[in-house]
Amino acid sequence: MDEVGEVDGADVVRRTARSGRCVVWEESARDGAQAKTLMSAGFRVRLARETGRIFGPHGPGHVVFAAGFPAVCAEEFEAVRQVAAEAEGAVSVAAVCRGADRDLAQALASVRGSRHARVMVVVPASDAMARVMVHTDAARALEAAVDLVKRARDRDADVAVDVCLADASRADHALMAHCAGAVTGAGAGLVVLADTVGAQLPYATGEMFTRVRAACGPEVVLASHLHNDLGLGLANSLAALAAGVRVTSSSWLGIAERSGMVATEQLLFLLTRHGSELLGPDARPWWTVPDLTRLPGIARMVAHETGAPLGVTTPVVGTGVGTISTGTPFVHPGLFQPYDPHETLGIEPSVVLTHLASARVVTAVAARLGHVLDAEQTRTAMTWVKSLAYRTGRAVVDDAAFGHYLAGLTRSVPGSRP
């Protein structure tokens, strides 16, 4: 991994970001819990490892895995501790905490001894949030963040300390820039600007990061944490990247508080496939190009563990990717897809039988089931498919029902499955 400068020391995340490459701050195990999900400790370890493997040996530089919030309870502390112990080397493991001294001590203890360990301390950036969280104004809350960083560094200089400025979207830009410079000077690795309530529009996101970045100086490494309450999590994350941010919070399947945040699979896909368009023609987003064929499998893992649905409209990893159900896409699939799902993601194309089926689709599905149809049988079968779909109110006719129908319509091809 290329060096950026001695100022970054052993902090591989800072080095990656300051080189112009991208870092994903993965939140599905931490902020994802606020989407009413709960990942077991063992699954968090597995997910951290699998996410890191997307980048091969450069996993710790490209992935910060937020393992949890240790102050929640003893079980959560132990879950974070297990991830820190068993996923080290695959990713940089982080614990998240509030600024209370006890919480900070717990967070440090939960990741202590793990290679590339981090803690992220949440500090209110707006007056409204400061009054609720720490019963003071934003200026005093942000000033106190410097002492938090110093205390954390004094307790364990081997654990990187990051500061998350909550409600940054409603905070004063100049005040945040001053704080970012001060905490970085005190030893902070990253300064995260959070649209905590998900209300920011893309132009405002770009403006916020541009202004704070310009005012806080080149030593500060900014990161984004942008919620999706208005459906703009992805657009806002791209706006932050366009403003020069290289550490972006995301979550598998977009699970996070309320309406979630940008989905990790979408972010990785876009930055890998369209990095030069999003970041500039000379951009080099990765030390190791991500293996996108791992995305669908990880997404299915997370869906199974959390109950978060993988739907037909889920981008990149959804059940509709690579499926064809009508005539013209069947003949010319490349005209109707922005990329080749098999080549890019390892998703095998499939033909799905629905009420929209053309003769070609009916013939192809019948052949898959081991039946050869002549022209008359094809017309008869197509009529049956459409009629069944409308009678049942279900668009998809499954293979079992169609195979049973075909058994009575035509003969089976020798050696094929019934």
Pick from 252, 258, 262: which is nearest to 308 by CA?
252
pLDDT score, position 5: 40
Task: Determine how many CB atoms are found less than 10 A away from the CB of residue 414.
Answer: 6
List the chain residues with pLDDT less than 70. Answer: 1-9, 327-335, 411-418
pLDDT score, position 411: 61
- The phi and psi torsions of 23 (rounded to 5 degrees) equal -130, 135
Q: How far apart (Å, rounded) are the C-alpha atoms in residues 150 and 161?
A: 9
Q: How far apart (Å, rounded) are the C-alpha atoms in residues 101 and 210?
A: 32
pLDDT score, position 219: 95
Residues in the chain: 418
- 250: its two tokens: 């995301």
pLDDT score, position 330: 67
Pick from 8, 34, 17: which is nearest to 223 by CA?
17
Q: How far apart (Å, rounded) are the C-alpha atoms in residues 29 and 80?
A: 10
- 76: its two tokens: 């959560």
pLDDT score, position 140: 92
Torsion angle of the four alpha carbons 222, 228, 230, 235, in this order, in degrees rounded to the nearest 10: 50
Task: Give Cα separations from 254 to 3, 42, 160, 236 (angstroms).
Answer: 32, 21, 26, 14
Q: How far apart (Å, rounded) are the C-alpha atoms in residues 131 and 137?
A: 6
All structural domains of the chain, each given as residue ranges with its CATH number in brackets, are: 6-306 (3.20.20.70), 322-418 (no CATH)
